[in-house]
C-alpha cells in the first residue's frame, strides 16, 4: 500500500499530463494556477478590514481558509498524493462551512432551529466534522459532494437576486453567477471530456477552473455582506467599492460601512 505522502498515491488524476515540465511537479499548470488564491485572500482581508472590525473578526477565518485552499491545492497538484487531495478537499469543506456560519440569512435556517444563529452554527460545525470523517470513506466522490454544496449556495444567491431591487447587488450577483458557470463548465469538461481535450492538445481546463473559481470568492463575500446587512443591519448602509480604482467596476469588490453607532 503506497504512503499517503507518496507522489500519485491519490486515485484522482486530472487531464493535464504529468511531469511534462518539471520532474518535481506532477501537474505544472494545475499547480501554479492557484496563485490567484494567494493574491485574493490576503488582499480581501486588507480591503474588508473596516467591515470586519464593525461586524465580526471571525470573517478573517474565511479569508485565511481561502488562502489555505490555494496552498493545499498547489500541494495536491504538485504531488497528486492522497494527503494532498484530502487536505485540499477538507479545506474547501471548512471554507464553505465558515461562509454558511457567518452569512447565511436566518430565513434559510432549518425550521426546527427557528432563527437561532448559535444553534445553527453548532449544526453547521457538527455536520462539517461528520463530513470531514466521511470524506475518507470514498474520496473519489468528494469533489462532486463539494460541488453539490456549491449548487445550494448558487440557489440561495439566486433567491436573493429575485428579492432585491438594489442594482449594485444584482450586478454583483450576475458577474458571480457567470464566472461560476464558466468555472463549473471548465471543471466538468476537464473531468468528463479529457480524451477530447488531449486529442486537440489542450488539457488545461482544470487550471482555468482554478483562476475562474477564485473570482466568485471576493464577489460572493461582498454579496453575502450586503445580503446580511439587509436582514441584520437595516440601519446601516454598505457602499460597494472596487480595487485598484473605485471607478473600475470590474475590479476587486469590497464594502465600506456607514453609521458607527451599532455593531452587528
- Between 21-25, 83-87, 103-107, 217-221, the lowest mean confidence (pLDDT) is in 21-25
Give the model's confidence band at 21: pLDDT under 50 very low, under 70 low, under 90 confident, else very high. Answer: confident
- Per-residue pLDDT, 234: 83
Question: Residue-wise over 105-140: b if at least 16 C-beta within 10 A, else e?
Answer: beeebeeeeeeeeeebbebbeeebeebeeebeeeee
Residue 144 or 5, more confident: 144
CATH architecture of 28-258: Up-down Bundle (1.20)
* pLDDT tens for each residue of 93-102: 999 999 999 9
Tell me if 13 is assigned to a ligand binding site: yes
For residue 249, the model assigns a pLDDT of 66
Supply the DSSP string of 25-54, one letter for each residue. -SSHHHHHTTHHHHHHHHHHHHHTHHHHHH
The label of the residue with cell 478573517 reads 60
Q: What is the pTM of this model?
A: 0.93
Query: 111-137, pLDDT tens digit by residue?
Result: 999 899 999 999 999 999 999 999 999
Give backbone dihedrals phi and psi of 236, rounded to 5 degrees, phi first.
-105, 155
Q: In the chain, how many H helices and how many E strands?
A: 11, 2
Please, are residues 59 and 233 in contact by the beta-carbon 8 Å criterion?
no
Phi, psi of 231 (to 5 degrees): -85, -40
- pLDDT at res. 264: 43
pLDDT surpassing 70 at residue 159: yes
Q: Are 116 and 124 in contact (CB under 8 A)?
A: no
Residue 181, all three cell numbers: 458557470
Residue with cell 493545499: 72
CA distance 220 to 217: 5
Output the pLDDT for position 19: 92
Q: Which of 121, 56, 133, 60 is nearest to 93 (CA)?
A: 133
Residue 18 labeled ligand binder: yes
Question: What confidence tens digit (pLDDT) does each residue in 252-263 have?
Answer: 999 988 765 444
pLDDT-above-90 percentage for the chain: 81
Q: Can you give the residue ranges of every domain in the chain?
A: 28-258
- Give pLDDT, residue 262: 42
CB 170 within 8 A of CB 161: yes
14 is in an annotated binding site: yes
* Dist CA 255 CA 240 (whole Å): 5
In this predicted model, what pLDDT tens digit does every residue of 213-261 receive, in sequence order?
Answer: 999 999 999 999 999 988 988 888 888 999 988 877 678 999 988 765 4
Q: pLDDT tens digits for 24-54?
A: 999 999 999 999 999 999 999 999 999 998 8
Residues forming a β-bridge with 240: 255
Question: pLDDT band at residue 2, thresholds of 50, 70 and 90?
Answer: low
- How do residues 71-83 score in pLDDT, each as one tens digit? 999 999 999 999 9
206 is in an annotated binding site: yes
| Alpha-carbon gap, residue 85 to 72, rounded angstroms | 8
Contacts of 94 (CB under 8 A, 6+ apart): 65, 128, 132
Amino acid at each position: 500500500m503506497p504512503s499517503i505522502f507518496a507522489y500519485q498515491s491519490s486515485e484522482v488524476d486530472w487531464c493535464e499530463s504529468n511531469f511534462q515540465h518539471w520532474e518535481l511537479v506532477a501537474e505544472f499548470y494545475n499547480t501554479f494556477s492557484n496563485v490567484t488564491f494567494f493574491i485574493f485572500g490576503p488582499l480581501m482581508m486588507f480591503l474588508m478590514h473596516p467591515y470586519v472590525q464593525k461586524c465580526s473578526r471571525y470573517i478573517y477565518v474565511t479569508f485565511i481558509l481561502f488562502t489555505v485552499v490555494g496552498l493545499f491545492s498547489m500541494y495536491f497538484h504538485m504531488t497528486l498524493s492522497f494527503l494532498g487531495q484530502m487536505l485540499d478537499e477538507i479545506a474547501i469543506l471548512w471554507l464553505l462551512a465558515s461562509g454558511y456560519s457567518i452569512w447565511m440569512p436566518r430565513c434559510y435556517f432549518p425550521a426546527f432551529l427557528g432563527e437561532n444563529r448559535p444553534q445553527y452554527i453548532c449544526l453547521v460545525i457538527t455536520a462539517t466534522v461528520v463530513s470531514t470523517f466521511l470524506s475518507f470513506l470514498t474520496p473519489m466522490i468528494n469533489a462532486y459532494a463539494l460541488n453539490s454544496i456549491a449548487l445550494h449556495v448558487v440557489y440561495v444567491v439566486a433567491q436573493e437576486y429575485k428579492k432585491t431591487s438594489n442594482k449594485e447587488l444584482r450586478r454583483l450577483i450576475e458577474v458571480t453567477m457567470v464566472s461560476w458557470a464558466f468555472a463549473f463548465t471548465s471543471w466538468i469538461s476537464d473531468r468528463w471530456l479529457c480524451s477530447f481535450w488531449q486529442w486537440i492538445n489542450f488539457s488545461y481546463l482544470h487550471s482555468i477552473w482554478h483562476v475562474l473559481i477564485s473570482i466568485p470568492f471576493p464577489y460572493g463575500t461582498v454579496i453575502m455582506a450586503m445580503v446580511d446587512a439587509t436582514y441584520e443591519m437595516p440601519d446601516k448602509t454598505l457602499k460597494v467599492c472596487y480595487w485598484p480604482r473605485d471607478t473600475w467596476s470590474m475590479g476587486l469588490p469590497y464594502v465600506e460601512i456607514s453609521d458607527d453607532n451599532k455593531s452587528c
